[in-house]
Structure 1
Amino acid sequence: MKVKKKKNMTIYKISNILESTYNDKVMSVLDHFSGFYKIYESGYKEPVLVSGVDGVGTKLRLAIDYKKYDVIGEDCFAMCANDVLCHGALPLFFLDYLACGKLDYTIVKKIIQGIAISCKKNNTCLIGGETAEMPEIYKKNDYDIAGFCVGIVEKNHIIDGRKLIQEEDILIGLPSSGVHSNGFSVIRNIFSTEDFMKSFQEKPFYETLLIPTKIYHFPIHTLLKKFLIHGLAHITGGGISDNLYRILPENLSAVVKKEKIPIQPVFNYIQKKGNLSEHEMWNTFNMGVGMIIVVSFKEKYHILNKLHILGEKPFILGNIVKGNKKVFLK
């Protein structure tokens, strides 16, 4: 009963954080067993719901060790929202699953605040979630988190690279904010606790590693109002090759020119310290590319110009050629 009472008190205390993200489409309250969100007045003719689920991986360990709990929430939202974005969807609402060894309101609040801040920035409602206290599974201060994002898109506006990408299309890269949320098992095998505290670019190295995953909602949806995007690839685990492969048609391949990518110093530092091969690096990390936009070569300059106006730093990193669904890193 004490655990249940404590959990209920935590829900009550964080309710104002969730409610700060609500709009007039939210119909539920936290006492409900589920979240309600009305879409019948959304203005879509043939609305399609697009869902995504993800976590933060072992970046969690680093965030917990250095008590950067808000980062956990921001990353969780970003990983889910960027995936939903890849099909042209506008995020509607978000839910989280938070598991821990022992419930600590202060920590839970910081994690939820991280999610809520990202939700508000991207017009997404944090309408609920689940907090599970499992002392037999997790240590006292250990946490795990998963997020669930649901978006909406008009049926005839769904971005599906396998159907839209054409020969001679151009690959435009949007920079990542850093390592994002992938490759941390490799990183933690390379660097010691002392290494994480060493200065890198005038601050402790762990601070660079914990920079939150960039969210690409604003630039992509701004482009979609004017341009036809043939494909979007969120560069996560498996690097450029694995994620770009997922959106290619069977009869086309992608050529990526590594020298065109502005590789961030953090990746060179990781490679040198871990004595990692080029193959290991490019198949584990984003290498400075957070999102790849596939567009017609006829529109590349207009799109690049628009992205620059939006404050982005885009770069052309390759193109689409005839082939049998392969990604060539050159």
Structure 2
Amino acid sequence: MPKSALTKAASNPSSSASTASSALAKPVTYADAGVDISSGDRTKDRIKYLAKRTFNRNVLGGIGGFGALFQLDLKKWTEPILVSSADGVGTKLKLAFDLGIHNTVGQDLVNHCVNDIAVQGAVPLFFLDYLASGTMDPAVTEQIITGLADACKANGCALIGGETAQMPGFYQDGEYDMAGFIVGVVEKSKVITGETIVPGDILLGLPSTGLHTNGYSLARKLFFEVAGYKPNSYIGAIGDKAGTALMKVHRSYLSIMQKLANAGLVAGMAHITGGGITENLPRILPKGTAAQVELGSWPVLPIFEHLRDLGQVPQAEMLRTFNMGIGLIVVVPAEKFRKAQALLNRAEEKFHVIGRIIKSDKNDKDGRKVHFA
């Protein structure tokens, strides 16, 4: 712009404001910025309906308040201990975007959180979710919340609130992120911490349904970059389509954990999530103990073997990235093993004896390691 024009504009600042104002033929709304409040309100009405399906008599009020209200039944608990956890689904969401399947990730999220508190003996009370996207798609949102509600109902916990955020420009079109927060309760005398674990205790492994919600960044790289598969590619080595195999729902172990705990057969339990057996089992081991896990004592799911072969992934890397077919490890005192075995058989729950607790090596400062043999 010539100097004379700059001088003129500076001497008459109202002219530039007038020009900008005239360029706006109509008022700018939040919807123009990418946030459709009206559409969001309609979606939230549907969410309220789905959430109410999970309510019980302890839920006070409904969805929509600034805070969700839940009344703890103090007659039922003498010394109640609240147990909480928060988690996400990780890059498994990328597959949901590619496949257009959104109801199962809600189940993944709830079941993952339920397992995390149930290993300490807790009964789930209520669940809250956080769902954020660039632009809210009512159909996709309903699928996600349906999955959340179905899983909450199945696990006996109430979906009592959460946050649905529209953040234009923050997420790519068609993508979203989600997280969950759960609160449960356990009687103080029945909290399961692993502190009673001693050498000689037996390790029982309960099967997973697949990857659950961990290791997806590596799995996606191996399937879709290294092997060049598409989500709908049929893979003979695993007997399934790539996308279908990877989207199998993260299993809830709540029912069988409660049966074992109520029968007094558990010294400790570990949910095998990110970090695999290598990093999750030590989280419950007392000082001076270690775990010896016998490789080959359980059938590794074909998907893990295929992933290993595709990338020539070292065994140690596989064991600390994936669950390798074991989603839960239960530590049972040796003298209670037969009772635990009988209970599992009656419940028609598959399990594998995968190892035992041993004394830690004297050269280890605290122990708490997993030794694979």
TM (norm. structure 1) is 0.97
Paired residues of 1:26 and 1:36 also in contact (CA < 8 A): yes
| 1:306 corresponds to 2:356 | no
CA apart distance, 1:41: 4.0
In structure 2, what is the Cα distance between the partners aligned to 1:202 and 1:242? Answer: 30
Tell which deviates more after alignment, 89-98 or 1-10.
1-10
**Alpha-carbon shift at residue 149 of structure 1 (Å):** 0.7
Query: Match for 2:218 among 175, 186, 192?
Result: 186
What is the alpha-carbon root mean square deviation over aligned residues? Answer: 1.2
Q: Which residue of 1 aligns with 2:65?
A: 32
Correspondent of 1:59 among 92, 95, 112: 92
Structure 1 letter corresponding to 2:355: G
- Is the CA contact (8 Å cut-off) linking 1:69 and 1:111 kept in structure 2? yes
Contact map agreement 1:28 1:34 (CA 8 A) in 2: no
Per-residue deviation, 1:11: 0.8
1:325 aligns with 2:358: no
1:198 aligns with 2:233: yes
Question: Which of residues 266, 271, 277 is equivalent to 1:234?
Answer: 271
Which of residues 90, 99, 119 is equivalent to 1:86?
119
Query: How many Å apart are 1:42 and its aligned residue?
Result: 5.0
Greater shift in the superposed pair: 1-10 or 133-142:
1-10
How far does the alpha carbon of each residue in 1:52-73 deviate from its partner, in whole angstroms, 9 at most, with x for none?
1000000010111101101110
Compare CA radii of gyration and give the structure with the larger one: 2
User: What are the within-5 Å matches in structure 2 for residues 76-155 of structure 1?
Assistant: 76-155=109-188
How far residue 202 of structure 1 moved from its aligned partner, in angstroms, is 4.4
Amino acid at match of 2:131: L
1:174 deviates by 0.5
Instruction: State the aligned residue count.
Output: 329
Deviation at 1:266, TM superposition (A): 0.8
CA contact (8 A) 1:76 1:147 kept: yes
What's the offset of the Cα at 1:31?
2.1
Counterpart code for 1:121: A
Report if aligned partners of 1:56, 1:145 keep a CA contact under 8 Å in 2: yes
Q: Does 1:175 find its partner at 2:207? A: yes
Q: For residue 19 of structure 2, what is the aligned residue in structure 1?
A: none
Matched ranges for 1:219-258 at <5 A: 219-258=256-295
Residue 196 to residue 5, structure 1, CA distance change in 2 (3 Å): closer
Q: Which amino acid aligns with 1:33?
A: F
